[in-house]
């Protein structure tokens, strides 16, 4: 090879290396193109809910005395504090409305950024697309950079517009600004956590377990810290990204200095993610997968589905046991803490009954929504198996589509039932041993009554997957709509017919209301019909759809 030819090739290599920086912009545009609908729908939903929530608070509590009474009643309810947080200033204009909205917004944005970072990093590696992209002149860190930029920009965009929405709804400008910035800080925190989880995990499923377990652990730490807000255990809130968002205290003291914590955490975790990226191979994680056995008895689709879902189910189960233990252990402190005005306000938030019954109806409703999320996630796991090419290999065997889909549906139905049953059993057991505790079955039955609604949402996700595989995110959209209706419908003064759009609205709230079998049987039958419709579509459509 002549010196001129070698120099020419060397120059081309240098030019390609210099051009690698442009790969970030190209990948960022591609990622935004793929997720533009998901991002837009989620952000518009968050902004609309915040505006109407702020506007509704003015008419719901027209006098300062009414607002103080509502905030005091919320603080007196251990269940409300555990779910949404403690209000330091009971005269806060945002008060219980902003506290409840903030926690819901934090969790929605956390789920969104986790999905964005996973999809454009670990999922791309698992499907082999990132290896193909890597053959182009882009830097090795470009996919992670693009994913972090997309999730970070989504968080940053969510914050300022939320600020304008709640300010337009009638809340003070300074608190509204901090409210929006706190929301952006939570999104950035979980962006950094997911970026690190991508490097540690060996596959997309394990990455999801790490990231979503971080959300669950963050919620539990914040919950304990808020319940014991005047005790040393309050420090646990400072170990939670959700707690950091609350420590900003918009409308409740306006602690702008607390925003430094999520920003510093974001910078540190993203820097750590890039360092870890340089120490792992493409398609692998720093924590390698445990080698499987040479021989296995796993000879059915159901066994395979369980094996793939086992890790995530155990994580869900642990969270539900902890949640049930905390709920049951704290129930004894409810006696004598809620007055008549407080009960009326809390019933408007979704609870019914008095004292412990009011508390446990709120806990059961929240647990049902979480179990529905597990069911939807389990069903949509079929889509990832399809897009990754694993399903094609399975269907080359005598395995039928019906058996494959049925194995995941059984996992979703039975798994969600086990979650709420174990939470109810744990809470009921601890409640019966606490001062003033009631009957075990009263609490346990209240947890189980939400199962028909959980199964209906799972069936809707399966129908979307079967008939509209490219719009499989509709399963999450159905669940998101139910969360909005159940958690915020009364606060936003939705009309009665709209409040009935949730399947949980038709189920009796045990143990306060009498048991009525008609809605239970109708919703269960409707779920069964939707599953049958889903099987028809799943057997008829092309496979795979990418």
Task: Going residue by residue through the chain, which has 546 residues, state the pLDDT in tens, using 9 for 90 and above.
Answer: 444 443 444 444 444 444 444 688 889 999 999 888 889 988 988 888 888 878 777 666 777 777 777 777 777 766 677 777 888 777 777 767 778 788 888 988 999 999 999 988 988 887 777 777 777 778 888 899 999 999 999 999 998 899 998 888 888 888 889 999 999 999 999 999 999 999 988 888 788 888 988 998 898 889 888 888 878 888 888 999 999 998 888 887 788 899 999 999 999 999 999 999 888 877 677 776 666 565 666 667 888 888 888 878 888 888 888 888 877 766 655 544 444 554 555 555 555 445 566 677 778 888 899 899 999 999 998 988 887 777 888 888 888 899 999 999 999 999 999 999 999 888 888 877 755 556 778 788 888 999 999 999 999 999 999 999 888 888 988 998 888 888 777 766 777 788 888 899 889 887 777 888 999 999 999 999 999 999 999 998 888 776
The last residue of a domain, from among 247, 266, 288: 288
pTM to 2 decimal places: 0.75
The last residue of a domain, from among 288, 315, 341: 288
Asked whether residue 2 is domain-assigned, the answer is no
Asked whether residue 423 is domain-assigned, the answer is yes
Q: Are residues 323 and 271 in the same domain?
A: no
Q: Are residues 129 and 234 in the same domain?
A: yes
| Beta carbons of 212 and 114 less than 8 angstroms apart | yes
Q: What is the spatial distance between Cα 128 and Cα 458, in angstroms, rounded to a whole number?
A: 29
Q: Are residues 498 and 391 in the same domain?
A: yes
Residue 53: which of 495, 499, 496, 491 has the closest Cα? Answer: 491
Q: Are residues 51 and 131 in the same domain?
A: yes
Asked whether residue 5 is domain-assigned, the answer is no
Q: Are residues 253 and 324 in the same domain?
A: no
Asked whether residue 234 is domain-assigned, the answer is yes
Q: Are residues 327 and 269 in the same domain?
A: no
Buried b (16+ CB within 10 A) or exposed e, 50-64: bbbbbbbbeebbeee
Q: Are residues 116 and 208 in the same domain?
A: yes
The last residue of a domain, from among 236, 267, 288: 288
Q: Are residues 190 and 257 in the same domain?
A: yes
252 φ, ψ to 5°?
-135, 35
Q: Are residues 259 and 365 in the same domain?
A: no
Q: Are residues 66 and 88 in the same domain?
A: yes
Using CB atoms within 10 Å of the CB of residue 90, give its burial: 0 to 12 exposed, 13 to 18 middle, 19+ buried: middle
Assign 3-class secondary structure to 265-288: HHHHHHHHHHHHHCCCCCCCCCCC
Q: How many domains does the chain have?
A: 2
Owning domain of residue 168:
23-288
3-class DSSP state for residue 79? helix
Asked whether residue 18 is domain-assigned, the answer is no
Asked whether residue 31 is domain-assigned, the answer is yes
Q: Are residues 248 and 378 in the same domain?
A: no
Asked whether residue 4 is domain-assigned, the answer is no
Using only the alpha carbons of the chain, give its radius of gyration: 24
Q: Are residues 267 and 322 in the same domain?
A: no
Asked whether residue 205 is domain-assigned, the answer is yes
């Amino acid at each position: 090879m002549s010196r001129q030819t070698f120099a020419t090739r060397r120059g081309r290599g240098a030019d390609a290396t210099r051009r690698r920086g442009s790969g970030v912009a190209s990948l960022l545009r591609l990622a935004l193109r793929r997720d533009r609908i998901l991002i837009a729908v989620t952000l518009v939903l968050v902004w609309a809910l915040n505006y109407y929530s702020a506007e509704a608070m003015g008419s719901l509590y027209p006098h300062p005395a009414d607002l103080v009474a509502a905030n005091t009643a919320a603080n007196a309810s251990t269940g409300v504090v555990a779910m949404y947080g403690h209000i330091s200033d009971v005269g806060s204009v945002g008060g219980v409305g902003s506290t409840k909205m903030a926690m819901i917004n934090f969790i929605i944005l956390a789920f969104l950024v986790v999905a964005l970072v996973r999809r454009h990093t670990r999922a791309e590696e698992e499907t082999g697309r990132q290896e193909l992209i890597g053959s182009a002149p882009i830097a090795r860190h470009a996919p992670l950079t693009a994913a972090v930029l997309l999730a970070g920009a989504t968080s940053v965009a969510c914050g300022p517009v939320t600020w304008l929405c709640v300010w337009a709804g009638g809340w003070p400008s300074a608190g509204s600004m901090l409210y929006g910035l706190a929301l952006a800080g939570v999104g950035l925190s979980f962006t950094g956590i997911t970026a690190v989880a991508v490097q540690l995990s060996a596959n997309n499923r394990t990455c999801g377990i790490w990231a979503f377990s971080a959300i669950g652990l963050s919620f539990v730490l914040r919950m304990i810290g808020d319940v014991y807000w005047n005790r040393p255990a309050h420090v646990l809130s400072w170990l939670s990204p959700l707690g950091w968002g609350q420590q900003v205290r918009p409308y409740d003291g306006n602690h702008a200095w607390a925003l430094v914590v999520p920003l510093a955490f974001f910078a540190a975790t993203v820097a750590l993610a890039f360092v870890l990226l340089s120490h792992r191979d493409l398609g692998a994680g720093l924590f390698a997968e445990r080698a499987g056995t040479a021989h296995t008895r796993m000879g059915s689709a159901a066994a395979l589905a369980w094996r793939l879902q086992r890790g995530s189910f155990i994580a869900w189960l642990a969270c539900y046991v902890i949640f049930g233990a905390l709920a049951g252990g704290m129930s004894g402190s409810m006696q004598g803490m809620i007055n008549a005005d407080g009960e009326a306000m809390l019933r408007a938030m979704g609870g019914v009954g008095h004292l412990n019954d009011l508390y446990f109806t709120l806990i059961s409703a929240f647990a049902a929504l979480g179990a529905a999320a597990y069911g939807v996630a389990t069903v949509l796991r079929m889509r990832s198996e399809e897009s990754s090419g694993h399903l094609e290999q399975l269907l080359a065997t005598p395995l039928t589509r019906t058996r494959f889909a049925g194995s995941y549906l059984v996992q979703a139905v039975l798994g969600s039932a086990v979650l709420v049953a174990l939470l109810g059993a744990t809470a009921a057991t601890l409640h019966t041993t606490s001062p003033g505790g009631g009957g075990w079955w009263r609490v346990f039955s209240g947890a189980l009554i939400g199962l028909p609604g959980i199964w209906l949402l799972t069936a809707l996700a399966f129908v979307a997957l079967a008939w509209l595989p490219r719009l499989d995110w509709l399963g999450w959209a159905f669940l998101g709509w139910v969360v909005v209706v159940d958690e915020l419908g009364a606060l936003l003064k939705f009309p009665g017919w709209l409040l009935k759009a949730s399947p949980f609205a038709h189920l009796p709230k045990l143990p306060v209301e009498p048991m009525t079998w008609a809605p239970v049987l109708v919703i269960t039958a409707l779920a069964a019909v939707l599953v049958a419709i889903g099987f028809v579509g799943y057997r008829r459509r092309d496979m795979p759809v990418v």
